[in-house]
Chain A
Amino acid sequence: MDSIFTVSIFQSALELGCIYALVALALFISFTILNIADLTTDGCFTLGCAVGAMFTAAGHPLLALVMALVTGALAGFLTALLQTKFGVESILAGIIVNTGLYTINLMVMGFSSLVNLFGCDTVFSLGKDLLGDTFIGGWYKVAMVAAIVIIIALALWWFLGTTLGMSIRATGDNAEMVKSSSINPTFTITVGLCLANSLTGLSGALIAQYQKSADINIGTGMVTIALASLIIGQTLIGNKGSMSRRIFGTILGSVLYRFIVAIALRMSVPAEALKLVSAIIVAVAIATPYVRKKVALKKRQYANYQRNRQEVKKNA
């Protein structure tokens, strides 16, 4: 019997886990820290993918990453603008921008729903030229994406400890207190959402280069997948400890999620079913603590009922 894990599956799960970890980190910023359900994510991921693909196709794989980062931040800026300056409910603001982005993304891709990058230079092909012959060998992609994630995680950790970063954290923790500490919540929400969506955009561009194509529907369900990663990480590492721990947990969650997907694929779950699987993972993970509490209460209730009945019998 084949073992469930082959080295190549392990490798690609690591690679994808690291790339998608950026989206999980984006949700860590918007959902966990700012306490805002930012639904820009799906469209923003595709935007990063589309922008990344077009610049890569034009022969600028590195500029592609930068541009994806910038356009992602712009998308986040729009969402923030709608909710802070125009009184649009935060969830709705994300949905509106997300919907609008579909057309923008098509425009970016030249009104084609698929862009192929075969034969184009990507950061991965450049990395292969650079690292392929060293001791890293076939692991060059893992080394590259891991390096990117580590650099971003360190930068994020550093940033969240700065005055601005702390102000953003406080905005999600106690908005009242933020205003009375002379911090402008409009500013902190805007910076937070720009930062989160720039990471999502970067992740999209990396995926475009990784799979050498961009597809208009690639972002669909991305927010659920990232949320699943976030929750897996929080379940394992906990949601309380220090910032570095929580950032590490988020990345770990993303990598583990990709392992789960890889195992599912090995066990011949069809690829089309994956979105359902992620939706179930998120629903179960979020519901479990609540249901567990309920069940414990019901158990106590039942025990209490039994005890009362026995006492009535005894007294009778």
Chain B
Amino acid sequence: MLRLDNISKTFNPGTVNEKAALTKLSLELKDGDFATIVGSNGAGKSTMFNAIAGTFIVDEGNIYLDDEDITFKKEHVRSRYIGHLFQDPLKGTAPNMTIEENMALAYLRASRASSKLFSRISAKDKDRFRQQLQLLGMGLEDRMKQPVGLLSGGQRQALTLLMATFVTPKLLLLDEHTAALDPATAEKVLELTKSIVAERGITCLMVTHNMHQALEVGNRTLMMNAGRIVFDTQGEERAKLTVQDLLEKFRAGAGEELDNDRVLLS
């Protein structure tokens, strides 16, 4: 499904700020895989996501999606089949446009026909949007004419999730997408994520700093350090793994003290 073949990326090469963010990273995901990713800050989790999404072109290596080489495809082309959610709930929506307008833009991924360029939001579209919004259970279906900027962070993130999966993507990248939300909202958005992903069988990668989540959500757990994947577990081995085991692995893999309280506390 997704195959990363020895991809590397170095930021600011040749300067004092040189940072090898990805070092010959390889990964293969099967159709319908839902993998969680843990790793300390700077391990390269977000960089890997950005490489997959096409925010930058990798220095070395190749990226394949469904056996198609997408290494040099532009971001807006890849976004037709890759959904990407960020920690910052403000990133995924246009604040000065209304909820229905944002959804109409997300729906663009469904049809590339140029005849659609000059169509306005129809009553049928609105019905479809309303039905989708009802799934969130946040009452957004009654606020479709309001600018998204008025929504809370949790509401915006839920809407972004809806928009990213509105047209079922081949691959969904979740970059700590619940980390900036309050616990109750985070729980709700995560439940929503799980149900949407399960229902449609979307292949999914999710970064988390919560070790429980890393083991409970999905069917596979990856650990990253220094720009590569250092631990990869699934099936029975994963089922037996405890949070304590994972923390040990974390220490062994990282070869250093945990620098992140959030990892220990959660």
Contact = CB atoms under 8 A, between A and B. Distances in A.
A106 B40 CA distance: 63
Contact of B105 (A159, A181, A185, A240): A181
B93 A174 contact: yes
B119 A170 contact: no
Given A173-B96, A174-B94, A174-B95, A181 B120 contact: no
Interface stretch (B75-83, B196-204, B219-227, B236-244): B75-83
Contact of B80 (A164, A170, A177, A182): A182
A173 B95 contact: yes
A182 B117 contact: no
B140 interface: no
Contact of B108 (A167, A169, A185, A240): A167
Interface in B115-169: 116-121, 147, 163-164
B42 to A, nearest CB: 22
Given A163-B119, A185-B76, A180 B53 contact: yes
B24 interface: no
B79 A182 contact: yes
Interface residues of A, number: 23
A173 to B, nearest CB: 4
Contacts of A176: 91-92
Contacts of A179: 75-76, 79
A240 B116 CA distance: 27
Contact of B91 (A162, A163, A169, A174): A174
A248 B196 CA distance: 43
A262 B224 CA distance: 69
A152 interface: no
Nearest to A175: B94
30 contacts: A161-B121, A162-B118, A162-B119, A162-B120, A163-B117, A164-B117, A167-B108, A169-B96, A170-B94, A170-B101, A170-B105, A173-B94, A173-B97, A174-B90, A174-B93, A177-B91, A177-B94, A178-B94, A179-B75, A180-B75, A180-B76, A180-B164, A181-B106, A181-B163, A182-B76, A182-B79, A182-B108, A183-B105, A184-B74, A240-B147
Interface string B65-90: 00000000011110110011000001
Given A177-B91, A179-B79, A167 B105 contact: yes
B79 A181 contact: yes
A158 interface: yes
A181 B77 CA distance: 9
A162 B125 CA distance: 13
A167 B121 CA distance: 13
A183 B108 contact: yes
Contacts of A183: 76, 105, 108
A240 B95 CA distance: 11
Contacts of A285: none
Nearest to A239: B96
B120 to A, nearest CB: 5
A236 interface: no
A166 interface: yes
Contacts of B77: 182
A86 B126 CA distance: 40
Interface of A: 158-159, 161-164, 166-167, 169-170, 173-174, 176-185, 240
Given A166-B97, A166-B101, A180 B119 contact: no
A162 B105 contact: no
Contacts of B116: 163
Contacts of B79: 179-182
Interface centre among A174, A181, A185 (most CB of B within 10 A): A181
Contacts of A159: 118
B62 to A, nearest CB: 21
Given A180-B92, A182-B108, 5 more contacts: A166-B101, A166-B104, A166-B105, A177-B92, A182-B76
B188 interface: no
B108 A163 contact: yes
A161 B94 CA distance: 15
Contacts of A178: 76, 94, 105
A232 to B, nearest CB: 21
B104 A163 contact: yes
Contacts of A167: 105, 108
Given A180-B75, A182-B80, A164 B118 contact: yes
A281 B92 CA distance: 37
B3 interface: no
Nearest to B118: A162
Contacts of A170: 94, 97, 101-102, 105
A163 B93 CA distance: 16
The 9 A-B residue pairs with the shortest CB-CB distance, nearest first, are: A173-B94, A164-B117, A170-B94, A174-B94, A182-B79, A182-B80, A179-B75, A180-B79, A182-B109
B149 to A, nearest CB: 9
Contacts of A185: 76
Contacts of A180: 53, 75-76, 79, 83-84, 92, 164
A240 B146 CA distance: 11
